[in-house]
């Protein structure tokens, strides 16, 4: 054992005759499973060991977690947090690798994975072979409950305390999450939900679709006297000042240097993929700076897995984990609990008082808020030019993959067939369909998954586009019927499936706002066209 642990423990040898008072026979032999961690040998009560598994291929890092939590993985539909026992004793110990084994500990309904180098054996231990450890007051991480002496004292095993292992961090929150998750799954059984995934600090996260007002490119962020390690500054969003929160800073451990964080953010040049996610939290509008916006993810309420063993720091914001077999797991966030009430009030009220809007802008904003029910959310995408589609017409967005099979006899615009979670979808190359010049697939290429209800049931199609741009909310009053000359310019081109246009504000040169008109893509028109051109779909 490391010196830091030994110095906080007192070993008490318990003789075989020393028993707790009470009726009944004395304690008998107990079963333990042994494990090796470097040169040390540990033991766990066999009754608490569910199974031992290999190190998983996919381990998800949990932000704001304690240093001894290496990550979490999906074990047959349950999220298992993995405790690196070496880091419990020494925070500077290295992370695990693929050679490690994981013992799944099941204690009072909480499952935890414990990292070891190798498994040992099942031991039947007599009471006189055991000793207990009494920790000094205030000792941290008292996970060793005692020792086992075998082979006349030549072999020492350290007995781990299951109760201490599962209560290292915030287990009451874990149990509450599990209970709430089961109740929500029962209430919303079979309900399909949507979220928008994004990346920050190397992990994938998501907001529920209802939380997002808009997703925009990074404009000029104005300095504010309320700048902090969390708040980068403010932007003018539709006539009102909106605080911008650096999501990566939000995920750093408490106690990080405020000055260093501010200097880092101030010196940063924003990358092309970075976006501002405008979210509505209670009655406040907050912008979150993220590294990129990835896709739309569909999930069912019963598929959302609670994330256990979180740090107490902002633990409530982690709503659960969405497992994706072929991609990184997504951590779904509860936007209502990302920031504390005090933080929201400070940023919202502070900016409103320091940078008030004029009466005209305020009146315009109030009028727009009154028309909130007459707005639609659009997704913009690139296909040589920029187009828009109502986000409700898109089931999900996935990355382009070369794993597309192409049966013989398919038309040129059919890229092939793709197995999407045990369901085959037809992938349409929109460039080929509309007679555009072909383009090589890149890391930006996406597939928009849409659905068509026909005589054969629900059919899914993948529409291959060059890139996905933004998500924005547009008032119905800014949507118009496209001029006849636009619709009739090319009967086989994209305009044939785009009867309407929307007028939006976009970033121009020098990040000034300018108007832009985008054609609105209608998925139903395209699918009707495909049904006519492909006899198999019309059958």
pLDDT, tens digit, 9 for 90 and up, residues 99-120? 899 999 887 777 888 999 998 8
Higher pLDDT, 154 or 1: 154
What is the reported pLDDT for 268?
54
What is the reported pLDDT for 157?
93
Q: Which of 118-127, 142-151, 290-299, 332-341 has the lowest mean pLDDT?
A: 332-341
Indicate the pTM of the whole model.
0.63
What is the reported pLDDT for 251?
78
How far, in whole angstroms, is CA 396 from its chain's centroid?
16
Q: What is the mean pLDDT of residues 128-144?
A: 74
> Residue 352, SS3?
helix
Higher pLDDT, 194 or 102: 102
Higher pLDDT, 178 or 449: 449
What is the reported pLDDT for 249?
81
Q: What is the pLDDT of residues 345-386, one digit of tens each?
A: 666 555 555 555 544 444 554 554 554 447 788 889 998 888
Question: Does position 463 have pLDDT exceeding 90, yes or no?
Answer: yes
Confidence of residue 523 (pLDDT cuts 50, 70, 90): confident
Task: Name the percent of the chain lying above pLDDT 90.
Answer: 13
Q: What is the mean pLDDT of residues 207-225?
A: 84
Q: Which residues contact 165 (CB under 8 A, 6 or more apart)?
A: 83, 105, 107, 112, 114, 143
Q: Sheet containing 69-75: which strands, arranged edge to edge?
A: 49-54, 101-107, 110-116, 78-83, 69-75
Distances (CA, A) of 86 to 8, 68, 82, 111, 140: 17, 8, 12, 19, 14
| Cα R_g (the chain), whole angstroms | 29
What is the reported pLDDT for 537?
43
What is the reported pLDDT for 25?
46
How far, in whole angstroms, is CA 168 from its chain's centroid?
23
Q: What is the mean pLDDT of residues 228-242?
A: 78
Rounded to whole angstroms, how far apart are CA atoms 109 and 126? 28
What is the reported pLDDT for 506?
62
Q: What is the mean pLDDT of residues 143-149?
A: 89
What is the reported pLDDT for 538?
40
What is the reported pLDDT for 187?
52
Phi-psi region of 534 (alpha: psi -120 to 50; beta: other; left: phi over 0): beta
Question: Does position 267 have pLDDT exceeding 50, yes or no?
Answer: no
Count the Cβ atoms, other than its own, within 10 Å of residue 382. Answer: 15
Phi-psi region of 153 (alpha: psi -120 to 50; beta: other; left: phi over 0): left
> Residue 223, SS3?
coil
What is the reported pLDDT for 341?
59
Helix (H) or strand (E) holding 105: strand 101-107
Rounded to whole angstroms, how far apart are CA atoms 61 and 102? 16
Q: What is the pLDDT of residues 17-56, one digit of tens each?
A: 333 334 444 467 899 999 999 889 999 999 889 899 999 9
Q: What is the mean pLDDT of residues 125-147?
A: 78
What is the reported pLDDT for 176?
52
CA atoms 281, 283, 284, 287: torsion sign: positive
What is the reported pLDDT for 54?
93
Q: What is the pLDDT of residues 59-77, one digit of tens each?
A: 888 777 777 888 888 888 7
What is the reported pLDDT for 447?
92
Helix (H) or strand (E) holding 88: helix 85-89
Which residues lie across from 11 on neighbouring strands? 133
> How many residues belong to the chain?
539
Question: Does position 426 have pLDDT exceeding 50, yes or no?
Answer: yes
Confidence of residue 123 (pLDDT cuts 50, 70, 90): very high
Higher pLDDT, 254 or 2: 254
Q: What is the pLDDT of residues 273-330, one digit of tens each?
A: 889 999 888 777 889 999 988 888 888 777 788 776 555 566 678 888 888 777 778 8
Confidence of residue 180 (pLDDT cuts 50, 70, 90): low
Locate 349 and state its tokens: 């009220």
CA triplet 286, 304, 325: central angle to 5 degrees? 105
Q: What is the pLDDT of residues 489-514, one digit of tens each?
A: 555 667 777 888 888 776 554 445 56
Question: Does position 441 have pLDDT exceeding 80, yes or no?
Answer: yes
What is the pLDDT of the chain when averaged over all its residues?
75
DSSP code at position 258: H
Strands (E), 247-393: 275-281, 284-290, 292-300, 318-322, 330-333, 375-383, 385-390
In order of start, what are the domains of the chain with their CATH numbers?
A: 3-15+26-169 (2.40.50.180), 173-370 (2.40.50.180), 373-538 (2.40.50.180)
Rounded to whole angstroms, how far apart are CA atoms 172 and 490? 63
Q: Which residues contact 172 (CB under 8 A, 6 or more apart)?
A: none
Q: Which residues contact 29 (CB under 8 A, 6 or more apart)?
A: 124, 125, 126, 127
Count the Cβ atoms, other than its own, within 10 Å of residue 522. Answer: 17
Distances (CA, A) of 266 to 149, 162, 243, 276, 354: 59, 46, 15, 16, 21
What is the reported pLDDT for 313?
60
Confidence of residue 2 (pLDDT cuts 50, 70, 90): very low
Count the Cβ atoms, other than its own, within 10 Å of residue 54. Answer: 10
Higher pLDDT, 396 or 255: 396
Higher pLDDT, 367 or 519: 519
Q: What is the mean pLDDT of residues 467-494?
A: 74
Question: Does position 335 have pLDDT exceeding 90, yes or no?
Answer: no
DSSP code at position 403: -
Which residues lie across from 130 on neighbouring strands? 148
Rounded to whole angstroms, how far apart are CA atoms 9 and 531? 75
Contact 442, 397 (CB under 8 A): no
What is the reported pLDDT for 264?
43
Nearest in space to 400 (alpha carbons), one of 420, 373, 374, 385: 420
């Amino acid at each position: 054992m490391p010196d830091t642990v030994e110095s906080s423990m007192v070993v008490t040898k318990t003789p075989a005759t020393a028993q707790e008072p009470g009726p009944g026979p004395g304690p008998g032999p107990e079963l333990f499973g042994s494990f090796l961690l470097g040169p040390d040998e540990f033991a766990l009560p066999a009754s608490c060991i569910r199974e031992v598994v290999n190190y998983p291929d996919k381990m998800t890092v949990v932000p704001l977690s304690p240093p001894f939590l290496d990550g979490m993985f999906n074990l047959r539909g349950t999220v298992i947090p993995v405790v690196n026992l070496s880091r419990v004793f020494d925070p500077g110990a290295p992370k695990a690798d693929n050679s490690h084994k994981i013992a799944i500990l099941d204690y009072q309904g909480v499952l935890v994975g414990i990292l070891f180098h190798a498994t040992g054996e099942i031991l039947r231990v007599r009471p006189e072979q055991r000793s207990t450890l009494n920790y000094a007051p205030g000792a941290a991480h008292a996970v060793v409950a005692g020792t086992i002496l075998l082979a006349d004292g030549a072999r020492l095993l350290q007995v781990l305390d299951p109760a201490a292992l599962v209560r290292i961090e915030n287990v009451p929150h874990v149990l509450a999450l599990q209970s709430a998750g089961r109740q929500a799954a029962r209430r919303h059984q079979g309900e399909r939900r949507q979220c928008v995934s994004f990346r920050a600090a190397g992990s994938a996260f998501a907001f529920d679709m209802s939380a997002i007002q808009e997703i925009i490119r990074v404009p000029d962020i104005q300095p504010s006297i309320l700048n902090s390690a969390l708040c980068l500054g403010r932007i003018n969003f539709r006539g009102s000042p909106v605080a911008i929160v650096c999501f990566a800073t939000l995920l750093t451990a408490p106690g990080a240097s405020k000055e260093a964080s501010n200097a880092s953010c101030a010196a940063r040049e924003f990358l092309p993929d970075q976006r501002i996610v405008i979210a509505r939290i209670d009655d406040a509008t907050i912008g979150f700076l993220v590294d990129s916006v990835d896709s739309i993810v569909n999930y069912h309420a019963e598929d959302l897995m609670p994330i256990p063993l979180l740090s107490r720091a902002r633990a409530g914001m982690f709503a659960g984990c969405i497992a994706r077999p072929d991609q990184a797991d997504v951590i779904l966030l509860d936007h209502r609990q990302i920031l504390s009430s005090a933080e929201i009030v400070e940023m919202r009220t502070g900016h409103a008082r320091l940078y008030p809007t004029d009466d005209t802008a305020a009146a315009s904003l109030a009028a727009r808020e009154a028309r909130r029910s007459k707005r639609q959310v659009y997704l913009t995408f690139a296909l040589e030019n920029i187009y828009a589609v109502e986000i409700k017409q898109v089931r999900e967005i996935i990355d382009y993959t070369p794993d597309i099979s192409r049966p013989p006899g398919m038309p040129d615009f059919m890229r092939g067939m793709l197995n999407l979670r045990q369901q085959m979808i037809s992938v349409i190359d929109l460039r080929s369909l509309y007679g555009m010049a072909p383009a090589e697939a890149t890391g930006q290429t996406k597939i928009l998954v849409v659905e068509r209800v026909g005589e054969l049931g629900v059919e899914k199609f993948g529409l291959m586009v060059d890139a996905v741009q933004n998500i924005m909310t547009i008032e119905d009053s800014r949507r118009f019927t496209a001029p006849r000359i636009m619709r009739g310019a090319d009967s086989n081109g994209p305009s044939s499936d785009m009867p309407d246009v929307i007028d939006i504000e976009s970033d121009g040169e020098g990040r000034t706002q300018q108007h832009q008109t985008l054609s609105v893509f209608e998925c139903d028109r395209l699918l009707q066209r495909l049904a006519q051109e492909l006899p198999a779909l019309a059958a």
